[in-house]
Amino acid sequence: MIIVTGGAGFIGSNLVKGLNTLGRNNILVVDNLKNGHKFRNLVGCDYLDYMDKSEFLDHIINQTFPYKDVEIVFHQGACSSTTEWDGRYMMENNFNYSKKVLGFCETHYSPMIYASSASVYGTGREFDEDGQHEQPLNMYAYSKYLFDSYVRKTWQERDIKVIGLRYFNVYGPHESHKGAMASIALHLHEQMLDSGVLNLFRGSDNYGDGEQSRDFIHVDDVVAVNLWCMEEATDSGIYNVGTGESRSFNDVARAVLAFHGKGKLKYIDFPDALKGSYQSYTRADIAALRAAGYKGKFQSLEQGMQAYLEWLTAGQGL
């Protein structure tokens, strides 16, 4: 059995579909469907069973998990809100939950591939996996940073493969349930449909209007890295998952404008609440991932945006 926590979420549901393309359907989806809209992400997925997160945790704690032969666990489940400041909730939902899943994997001698985040780098300019470059700015980033640190400190104690993947700015199908935390790609597309005016922040941190820059990666490429880690990666490690290119928010907006053939850009004041805690620049250093053996190509921003916008306008915009 393959377990995907957060399996009804953005990356999790795409990962289930990716496993299906490999002919794998002996999958347990673990999630919390309090946000019932997420069910749409699982329509068309082929999987064995669904289990609520709370039930899954009960089985972990009581050692009563009903299935045997757990082949691997993809741990994608987390609160991904960068504006959530309830530290107790964030630590329980992200850090403590992840530790319990790791313990479960050890009990079942199952490899664990888990979602980390590029947010751990904060406003730094170095984006390799060296711990000295990590400076989280919010509770979400801190919860991810802390679990990465916990895993690093206990490498030698583990008899299983444990791989952490630091996702950069992921965009693509099945993210609409994320609301404000959805990608700028989706927000700009929705603004185009609503008013034809695309809003970007004015200049900040010595960047011009809309010139803040991120490493944008299509979710299909993220899934490809996860599947490679399952099938081919031999060693434990923490790896950046990005394209290795940094592109401006203006570039994303221009892709939306070009696709729709209309609309205009508008620059709005940079929010006071984000000052000092905003990543104006990210670019994944993917040398470690390449050194580990990953040879897959990443879609350019133009390629990924074209595919995503076609999917959205085909009426599949979930």
Q: Are strands 162-167 and 213-214 parallel, antiparallel or unpaired?
A: unpaired
pTM of the full predicted structure? Answer: 0.94
Angle, vertex CA 117, rays to CA 223 and CA 114, nearest 5: 55
- Can you read off the two tokens belonging to residue 34? 């309090």
pLDDT of residue 71: 97
CB-based contact 185:222 (threshold 8 Å): no
CATH of 2-171+217-244+285-298, one of 3.40.50.800, 3.40.50.720, 3.90.1200.10, 1.10.730.10: 3.40.50.720
pLDDT of residue 277: 73
Q: What share of the chain is helix, strand, coil (3-state, %, to 5)?
A: 45, 15, 40
CA–chain centroid gap for 161, Å, is 20
| β-bridge partners, 265 | 198
Q: What does the pLDDT look like over 156-177, one tens digit per residue? A: 788 899 999 999 999 999 999 9
Could you please report the per-residue DSSP string of the chain? -EEEETTTSHHHHHHHHHHHHTT---EEEEE-TTSGGGHHHHTT---SEEEEHHHHHHHHHHT--S-----EEEE------TT---HHHHIIIIIIHHHHHHHHHHHTT--EEEEEEGGGGTT-S--SS-GGG----SHHHHHHHHHHHHHHHTGGG-SS-EEEEEE-EEE-SS-GGGGGGS-HHHHHHHHHHHTSEEEEEPP-TT--TT--EE-EEEHHHHHHHHHHHHHT--S-EEEEES-S--EEHHHHHHHHHHHHT--EEEEEPPPGGGTTS---B-----HHHHHTT-------HHHHHHHHHHHIIIII--
- pLDDT given for residue 316 in this prediction: 54
Provide CATH code, domain 176-213+246-282+304-316. Answer: 3.90.25.10
Q: What is the pLDDT of residue 225?
A: 98
Distance from C-alpha of 229 to C-alpha of 224, rounded to nearest angstrom: 9
- CATH 3.40.50.720: which residues of the chain? 2-171+217-244+285-298
How deeply is 186 buried, as exposed, middle or buried, from its count of CB atoms within 10 A (0-12, 13-18, 19+)?
Answer: buried
The conformation of residue 31, written as its DSSP 8-state character, comes to E
Half-sphere exposure of 16 (CA within 13 A, CB side): 30
Start-end of CATH 3.90.25.10 domains in the chain: 176-213+246-282+304-316
Q: Radius of gyration of the chain from Cα atoms?
A: 19
pLDDT at 214: 96
pLDDT value of residue 118? 94
> Which of the residues are catalytic?
140, 178
Evaluated on CA atoms 41, 99, 21, 68, the torsion sign reads: negative
CB-CB contact of 238 with 154 (8 Å): no
Q: Are 169 and 241 in contact (CB under 8 A)?
A: no
Reading the chain (318 residues) residue by residue, the pLDDT tens digits are: 999 999 999 999 999 999 999 999 999 999 999 888 899 999 999 999 999 999 999 999 999 999 989 999 999 988 777 767 788 888 888 899 999 999 999 999 999 999 999 999 998 888 999 888 999 888 888 999 999 999 999 887 888 999 999 999 999 999 999 988 899 999 999 999 999 999 999 988 889 999 999 999 999 999 999 999 999 999 999 999 999 999 999 999 999 999 999 999 999 998 887 777 788 899 999 999 999 999 999 999 999 999 999 999 997 544
